[in-house]
Amino acid sequence: MTTTREDEERLRLLESVILNTTDGVLIAENDQNLDTKIVFVNEAFMKMSGFAKDEIIGLSPLNFFASDASVDELSKLKDAIDKFEPCNIVVKTTKKNGIKYWVNVSIAPVSDGSGGYKHWVYIQRDVNNRRRHLQALEEQNKKLKEIAWIQSHVVRAPLARIMGLVDLLSERHDSEELSNNQIIEAIASSANELDDIIRKIVLNTENAQNQSSL
């Protein structure tokens, strides 16, 4: 097979994509035992993971995941490898210094041109910041739901009492159950309870804000 200058130019361009991208790229090869071993690693993967080339080549791409990485996500990846199918997961992985970080991993089998598959392209993108933002948002949503529940069930309870008591006063029903003095006392204590609840909510919200700005 002869390669023309055009082919060489094209290959050089394609190679520069892998070399210059900020995504970590691995190429792995299945050996005779169908074990997947890394045969190529780009600069970005080394920078991202903290491992040197000779610490990566020859290992399986699965070696780098964190010990507490999601079992479900990893089994999706392993299934895809067994079936020679592409796959995309978000999973926790570990740097050489032990620090864990979130990556989006996509793998794709490379056809050898005769219907077989021997190579894998493995691309990982650092999604740590995105993940952290997402978690902070989820946390805030949970807080908002809690606040809505408190507003609805706790804050409205003494308020409903006040409204009912004022109704009773304004309609001046002669009720044996409550004298006017008792009604006024009950309004005052309900108003104080309402005040306490609102102060607590404000305090909690401030605490939550301080936590999220840390």
Partner 1 sequence: MNLNVLIVDDDKMITLLHKVMVVKNKISTNPPLLFSDGKMALEFLSSEYNPEERYLVLLDINMPVLNGWEFLDSIQSEQYANDLLVIIVTSSVDSSDKQKARTYPQVIGFLEKPLRAESCDFIKAIPSIAPFFS
Helix (H, G, I), strand (E, B) or coil at 75: helix
Contact pick of 168, 169, 201, 208 for partner 1 (by CB under 8 A): 168
Other CB atoms within a 10 A radius of the CB of residue 209 amount to 11
Provide the minimum distance between the beta carbon of 174 and partner 1 in the complex, in angstroms, as a whole number.
10
Other CB atoms within a 10 A radius of the CB of residue 45 amount to 23
Is 156 an interacting residue with respect to partner 1 (CB under 8 A)? yes
Provide the minimum distance between the beta carbon of 188 and partner 1 in the complex, in angstroms, as a whole number.
12
DSSP assignment letter at 115 = S
Query: Which residues, numbered 179-198, are part of the site for partner 1 (CB under 8 A)?
Result: 186, 190
Contact pick of 17, 39, 163, 198 for partner 1 (by CB under 8 A): 163
Burial of 138 (0-12, 13-18, 19+ CB in 10 A): exposed
Burial of 5 (0-12, 13-18, 19+ CB in 10 A): exposed
Query: Which residues, numbered 112-151, are part of the site for partner 1 (CB under 8 A)?
Result: 148-149
Q: How far is CA 6 from each of CA 12, 15, 37, 96, 124, rounded to the nearest angstrom?
A: 10, 14, 31, 40, 30
Rounded to the nearest 5 degrees, what angle is found at the Cα of 147, between the Cα atoms of 144 and 149?
110
Provide the minimum distance between the beta carbon of 20 and partner 1 in the complex, in angstroms, as a whole number.
51
Is 165 an interacting residue with respect to partner 1 (CB under 8 A)? yes
Contact pick of 29, 59, 118, 164 for partner 1 (by CB under 8 A): 164
- Window contacting partner 1 (CB under 8 A); options: 15-23, 79-87, 110-118, 154-162: 154-162
Q: Where along the sequence are the contacts to partner 1 (CB under 8 A)?
A: 148-149, 152-153, 156-157, 159-161, 163-165, 167-168, 171, 173, 175, 177-178, 186, 190
